[in-house]
């Protein structure tokens, strides 16, 4: 009888990952497993190491120790664009858009990660390159429609409200056709209506497009509503993992957030 390990059921496995900056241990021995199709949240106070963990998964930082597997492939040591091509998309905490460019051009430039041709190939196989360009445009138009961005498609990003820029940042990540989407504080700085819209979009991306979502967020309402599993980091260490209900009653988690234990 074949033995199926627990790890085999994970799409993303983080195993004992540690990162230091000088003397500061930003992350220490963090492990977690995300199953395909989940909405999985990572929470914790400011400076807990949440974004650093995303930076390790995306290849922006190199872990000092540990392993990060995506569909069984080791990501540590891989270049960020390779990791993107494997199917890991990222919406950044600090919006990473070309502010002077339109929404449409930002999304088209995100697609350039997926272009398989170089200049030489473009010179000899113009037809296939043009077909790929058309495919990219179709995909971008689909993302624009999915996230209700039609009315701003020709607007420079810098002219948009902050909340709308966050939505375009999500669109940029989605335009890379991720299998798994890392979303870092998607509702920070948003008003209530924008938060509700963003929650809806994340659910739709997960349910309709079948994309696994890993969410970092300080908005506990959003985390509790959306997540199947929550991991809590504090001072770079994982202090808890469980369902939203389990996490909200965990004394160590309450202490990390409030500085006291409610009995
Ligand atoms: N490039 C870097 N150089 C030096 N220190 C860093 C670097 N990146 C992160 N750190 C440090 O690592 C720790 C974790 O930072 P990180 O940004 O991951 O926290 P966070 O949990 O995302 O916080 P927040 O909720 O405020 O976004 C902090 O002490 C931070 O100063
Ligand atoms: Mg952060």
Our measurement of the distance from residue 35's CA atom to the centroid of its chain's CA atoms, rounded to an integer in Å, reads 15
- According to DSSP, residue 44 is labeled -
At the top level of CATH, which class does the domain 6-258 belong to? alpha beta
> How many angstroms separate the CA atoms of 147 and 131, rounded?
25
What pLDDT sits at residue 23? 87
Is 256 touching ligand 1 by the criterion CB < 6 Å? no
Is 62 touching ligand 1 by the criterion CB < 6 Å? no
Atom in ligand 1 nearest the alpha carbon of residue 233: 21
Question: 171 C-alpha vs ligand 2 centroid, how far in Å?
Answer: 20
- Residue 94: left if φ>0, alpha if ψ -120 to 50, beta else—which one? beta
> How many angstroms separate the CA atoms of 134 and 200, rounded?
29
Atom in ligand 1 nearest the alpha carbon of residue 49: 18
Q: Which residues contact 109 (CB under 8 A, 6 or more apart)?
A: 98, 101
User: In this structure, what token pair is assigned to residue 37?
Assistant: 């199709």
Residue pLDDT, tens place only, 44-94: 999 999 999 999 999 999 999 999 999 999 999 999 999 999 999 999 999
What pLDDT sits at residue 112? 75
Across the chain, which has 263 residues, the per-10-residue mean pLDDT values are 65 98 94 98 96 97 96 96 95 92 95 62 64 88 98 97 96 97 96 96 98 97 96 97 96 81 45
Atom in ligand 1 nearest the alpha carbon of residue 54: 18
Question: 207 C-alpha vs ligand 1 centroid, how far in Å?
Answer: 31
Site to substitute for ligand 1 among 17, 19, 24, most atoms within 8 A of C-beta: 24
What pLDDT sits at residue 261? 46
Question: 69 C-alpha vs ligand 2 centroid, how far in Å?
Answer: 22
- According to DSSP, residue 160 is labeled S
Q: Concatenate the DSSP letters of all residues of 235-262 into one string.
A: TTEEEEEE-HHHHHT-HHHHHHHHSS--
């Amino acid at each position: 009888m074949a033995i199926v390990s627990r790890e085999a059921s994970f799409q993303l496995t983080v195993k004992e990952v540690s990162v230091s900056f000088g003397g500061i241990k930003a992350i220490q021995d963090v492990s977690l497993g995300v199953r395909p199709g989940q909405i999985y949240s990572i929470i914790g106070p400011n400076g807990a190491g949440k974004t650093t963990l995303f930076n390790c998964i995306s290849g922006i930082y190199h872990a000092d120790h540990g392993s990060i597997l995506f569909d069984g492939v080791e990501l540590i040591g891989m270049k960020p664009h390779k990791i993107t091509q494997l199917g890991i998309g990222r919406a950044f905490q600090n919006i990473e858009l070309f502010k002077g460019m339109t929404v449409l051009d930002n999304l088209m430039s995100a697609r350039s990660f997926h272009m398989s041709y170089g200049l030489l190939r473009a010179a000899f196989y113009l037809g296939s390159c043009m077909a790929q360009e058309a495919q990219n445009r179709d995909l971008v138009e689909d993302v624009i429609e999915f996230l209700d961005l039609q009315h701003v498609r020709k607007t420079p990003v810098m002219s948009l409200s902050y909340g709308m820029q966050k939505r375009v940042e999500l669109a940029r990540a989605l335009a890379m056709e991720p299998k798994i989407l890392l979303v870092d504080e998607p509702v920070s700085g948003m008003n209530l209506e924008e938060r509700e819209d963003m929650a809806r979009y994340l659910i739709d991306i997960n349910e309709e497009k079948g994309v696994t979502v890993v969410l970092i967020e300080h908005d506990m309402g959003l985390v509790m509503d959306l997540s199947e599993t929550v991991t809590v980091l504090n001072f770079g260490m994982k202090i808890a993992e469980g369902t939203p209900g389990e996490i909200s009653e965990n004394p160590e988690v309450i202490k990390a957030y409030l500085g006291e234990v409610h009995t």
